[in-house]
Chains A and B, each alone.
Chain A
């Protein structure tokens, strides 16, 4: 079972920052938070991941709370091409048995 909770859908105006929350209250100390997105009928695309510190790359920023029980993915200037389902995943790591467990994700719609 996925160990994350995300809102099923969100809207964001084009050009604004999109903030996608994720709750992972049962995360353990050595588990990472990963974010992927899936644009309609395409394969999921890796966005960013982190352990405890905030992370930023060319696509997004990841803010992880100090207690690590929740995180927020930030798309700083959303465009129409950012419309997708966004998945927050806690990597269940049992040495040699790592696998991505996807939940239902958040369907983000960017509105012109």
Chain B
């Protein structure tokens, strides 16, 4: 079956703008997690959504937000972009939330903030 898809794959924005990234999980998966990857900080957990509810959140400012729809698709929004937000944003899906359910990652969206 199809893997996790993310759109767009590449994005260029300027400081102060806002951006919305989209993630479609594997069919049947109900949990979507978002991660930020930068050369300096590595892979960092942003938040997780399950059944349209945020279940867990990492240590990121309130400019980073997300939501999940009834079909399990998820969006992540970053407002008032800063240069340091330039990163690869990854989403991962799993069947359930909780336990040790394996997460499967999408290819990522590479965001460049100028």
Contact = CB atoms under 8 A, between A and B. Distances in A.
B43 interface: yes
Contacts, number: 62
A43 B106 contact: yes
Contact of A46 (B98, B99, B104, B110): B104
B64 interface: no
Interface string B44-74: 1100100000011010000000000000000
Interface string A22-55: 0000000000101010000111111001000000
A102 B42 contact: yes
A44 B90 contact: yes
A49 B42 contact: no
A42 B107 contact: yes
B43 A98 contact: no
Contact of A96 (B92, B97, B102): B97
A32 B103 CA distance: 14
B88 interface: yes
Interface residues of B, number: 27
Contacts of B105: 36, 43-46
Nearest to B58: A99
B102 A99 contact: no
B25 interface: no
B98 A98 contact: yes
Interface residues of A, number: 23
A97 B58 CA distance: 10
A96 B43 contact: no
A44 B98 contact: no
Interface string A90-102: 0101011111111
A97 B100 CA distance: 11
B42 to A, nearest CB: 6
Closest 8 CB pairs of A and B: A43-B105, A102-B43, A99-B45, A44-B105, A32-B100, A43-B107, A43-B90, A97-B56
Interface of B: 4, 33, 35, 42-45, 48, 55-56, 58, 88, 90, 92, 97-108, 110
